[in-house]
Structure 1
Amino acid sequence: MKILFVTTISSTVHTFLIPHIRMLVDQGHQVDVAFNIVQEVKPEIFDMGCKVYNIEFQRSPMSRKNFSAYKKLKNLILNEKYDLISTHTPVASACVRLACRNMQDVKVMYTAHGFHFYKGAPLKNWLLYYPIEKWLSKYTDILITINTEDYERAEASFKAKKIKYVPGVGLDTKKIQTVVIDKQLKRKELGVPTDAFLVLSVGELNKNKNHETVIKAIAKLNNPNIFYVICGKGSLESYLKKLIFEQKVNNQVKFLGYRKDIIEICKASDVFVFPSFREGLSVALMEAMACGLPVVCSDIRGNRDLIVNGKGGFLVNPGIEEEFVSALQKVFSNDSKQKSFGKFNEQAIKKFELHSVIMQLKNIYLYSK
């Protein structure tokens, strides 16, 4: 088959989809990619023989630039005569399905990495995204969902020809297991005392990732031996840095920026905290589990697929900082609970292992022929 992978921006392919593309190339398929190139294209993509097309999708569905991106995409699909479009992310996937709706010889496989409408989502999300996704589903040959809430809703309401559940994009747990660190040395590198209780969060500094709530919880714990490090960059960085001074925890909270050593930092930490308001199925959370960390995370779609409350950590209300305070205190004050939660997560994450996910996807692609 001749297959085109489409995402809104290039980082989605770089972060999640290279193993999927490699599986298809190894089977003898021609795979190309189309996205807005917002970062240098990884050499692996070219090494696999993929053609790369720059189509300037915008993440905002209201941007006028998406119309010209749609026209460019439609011409590409017609000219290159693709058999299958594997599409990811909402804006790009809307453009794909509109472009292909009258093409008889092209199949569309849409992977929803987390619908913008979900239990507890703002009303505007339901009014905007739900009717669009429901309408576009009739132009979808295969709809793949990566968490159980999305799967159940799609099964009940959408008109895609086939709806499948696959547990995430896959995590290479074997690679994570090979990472060995000197914990004390790593903490010195991060500027954290070697005997501190280290809380870690990973995620863009934006409103959805909700780091503000954890910062306030750290202040309420009022324990100078509890340190909090945040990996990520984003628009709220200045605001959050101001907040830690207001909360008087500027000596305990550190912003590490974008990091390529997340696994090492996980292995130097004591607990992973993930306070997002919305997630599909977080790779960062899965990585923390594979590193044997106990978890305190928001009780939301996706997170519920990963964390068993009271066995791998605690699921809490993302809007209530007192719940984070209570959960962190329980983990901090009980060494045996830390260890048992971590071991439970190491076993639980095996369901989401890369090899297992790749095998499931291989069967779905075979069905699409």
Structure 2
Amino acid sequence: MCLMVANTASMIAEFNLPNLTLLKSLGYQVQVACNFEQGNTCSAQKIERLKRQLNEMDIPFHQIDFPRSVNPLALIRAGGQLRKLLQAYAFDVIHTHTPLTSALVRMEADGHSKIIYTAHGLHFFKGAPLHYWLVYYPIERWLAKKTDVLITINQEDFHRAKAHLKAKRVVYIPGIGVDVDAFSAHTIDKTAKRKELGLEEDDTVILSVGELSKRKNHQVMIRALGQLNRPNLHYLIAGQGQEEQRLLRLACTLGVHLHLLGYREDVKDLYAIADVFCLPSKREGLGIAGIEAMAMGLPLLTSHVGGIQDYAIHGVTGYVCEKNCPRVYAQGIEALLLNEKPVCDSQDNKRIASQFDMKYAKTCMEIIYKTLYPKCGERNCDDPPHTNA
């Protein structure tokens, strides 16, 4: 029996349905524990749809009040709820996601379950604030001893975890992967879609996809656009979050055409009508939206942090910027939109995106699940690529 744990239901809905399907196909009995009520980055309708999907898949699910940030009282409450769940069922394998939730899971686990921990971006990274290193690094180093498989989703985390965190195995898998063929082949009536969004055919569209949070750093892009005198430039963000009003006020002050589209399920259409994709994050485990955009042939305007470094190459995939410098982002916009010679080739971006295809991620996860619980398959498998085993 396997328990899939994540801090939010949106993490299950957007990143773990393929893993749940795989586990069921391997013969696992599966349950899910996450926060369905707070902190989700997708719509309430999608959460309800997730619950229906889990019911249809015969996967019981449990509400655990996991917080998304450090809150001692909330962590104590979530820990108590999780403890009761772990005492009620004998889970052979627990697959847990994100650092804070996974720290709680590993502290509450009784040692009888095999633990898979997918980090989705370690908090101690090059350029991280000092207090991140002082707090999160010792905790992860201690809890690594309780971890059977530590899955990292970018190369920086993989090499640091392999060198300094003593998990039984450290594995690199590039996230859940992207269905590259589906994105690459997607076509729409661009004129009609732009009209639907209130855009003119000759408008220049810069797109970001991600929650409206300080970590995603959309404000740096708004400030960059405020430095340019191009009235036909429009910045679209697909996502929801606490920074919505702050971003709207900033755009109004700077005279920037900002379109906050909320949570969207038509992101392929949005990629198709965009001229540039922007990913200005201060911290990013991988940034799957950037890979999706490349699969659509879009040039990238990105920061140079975390997993973004694994695919964003300055002068090849687009323009790479200092994460907190609007002036450099403004230069990047001009380079991508005004140069007579293109900064990047769409076919190169599609080729790089293909290295992150979901088929590879699925193969790696199948090997891990079979290796940890051989009863689910007919044989043990060799270790997946990029492990320390």
2:168 aligned partner: 161
In structure 1, C-alpha distance between the alignment counterparts of 2:176 and 2:340, rounded to whole Å: 32
In structure 1, C-alpha distance between the alignment counterparts of 2:235 and 2:284, rounded to whole Å: 21
In structure 1, C-alpha distance between the alignment counterparts of 2:313 and 2:91, rounded to whole Å: 42
1:349 aligns with 2:358: no
1:279 aligned partner: 284
Match of 2:369 among 360, 365, 368: 365
Q: Given the two structures, how large is their TM-score scaled by the length of structure 1?
A: 0.94
1:293 aligns with 2:302: no
In structure 2, C-alpha distance between the alignment counterparts of 1:344 and 1:257, rounded to whole Å: 30
In structure 1, C-alpha distance between the alignment counterparts of 2:337 and 2:315, rounded to whole Å: 14
Match of 2:180 among 169, 173, 179: 173
Note the C-alpha offset of 1:364.
Answer: 1.5
In structure 2, C-alpha distance between the alignment counterparts of 1:335 and 1:181, rounded to whole Å: 27
SS of 1:144's equivalent?
strand
Letter in 1 for 2:57: M
Letter in 2 for 1:74: R
In structure 1, C-alpha distance between the alignment counterparts of 2:34 and 2:244, rounded to whole Å: 27
2:234 aligned partner: 227
In structure 2, C-alpha distance between the alignment counterparts of 1:222 and 1:70, rounded to whole Å: 52
1:81-100 aligned within 5 A: 81-100=90-109
Contact 2:94/2:114 (<8 A) preserved: yes
In structure 1, C-alpha distance between the alignment counterparts of 2:4 and 2:99, rounded to whole Å: 14
2:207 aligned partner: 200
Note the C-alpha offset of 1:226.
Answer: 2.0
After superposition, the CA RMSD in angstroms is 1.5
Note the C-alpha offset of 1:173.
Answer: 2.0
In structure 1, C-alpha distance between the alignment counterparts of 2:85 and 2:196, rounded to whole Å: 48
Letter in 2 for 1:353: D
In structure 2, C-alpha distance between the alignment counterparts of 1:364 and 1:314, rounded to whole Å: 36
Q: Given the two structures, how large is their TM-score scaled by the length of structure 2?
A: 0.90
1:260 aligned partner: 265
SS of 2:115's equivalent?
strand
Alpha-carbon displacement from aligned partner over 1:123-182 (angstroms, at most 9, x marks no partner): 121122111111111111110100001011101111111111111111122332453211
Aligned residues between the structures: 363
Identity over aligned pairs, percent: 39
Letter in 2 for 1:316: C
Alpha-carbon displacement from aligned partner over 1:254-287 (angstroms, at most 9, x marks no partner): 2222211111011000000111100001121121
Letter in 2 for 1:265: L
1:127 aligned partner: 134
Note the C-alpha offset of 1:341.
Answer: 3.1
Note the C-alpha offset of 1:60.
Answer: 2.4
Q: Which runs of 4+ in 1 moved over 4 A?
A: none
1:333 aligned partner: 338
1:187 aligned partner: 194
Alpha-carbon displacement from aligned partner over 1:1-37 (angstroms, at most 9, x marks no partner): x110011111100010000110111111111101111
In structure 1, C-alpha distance between the alignment counterparts of 2:70 and 2:259, rounded to whole Å: 34
In structure 1, C-alpha distance between the alignment counterparts of 2:331 and 2:258, rounded to whole Å: 19
Alpha-carbon displacement from aligned partner over 1:323-348 (angstroms, at most 9, x marks no partner): 1111111110136526x432211111
2:225 aligned partner: 218
Gaps of 5+ in 1: none
SS of 1:214's equivalent?
helix
1:310 aligns with 2:315: yes
Match of 1:47 among 48, 56, 59: 56
Letter in 2 for 1:123: L
Alpha-carbon displacement from aligned partner over 1:301-356 (angstroms, at most 9, x marks no partner): 11111212211111110111111111111110136526x43221111111111111
In structure 1, C-alpha distance between the alignment counterparts of 2:117 and 2:13, rounded to whole Å: 18
Letter in 2 for 1:82: F
Letter in 2 for 1:321: P
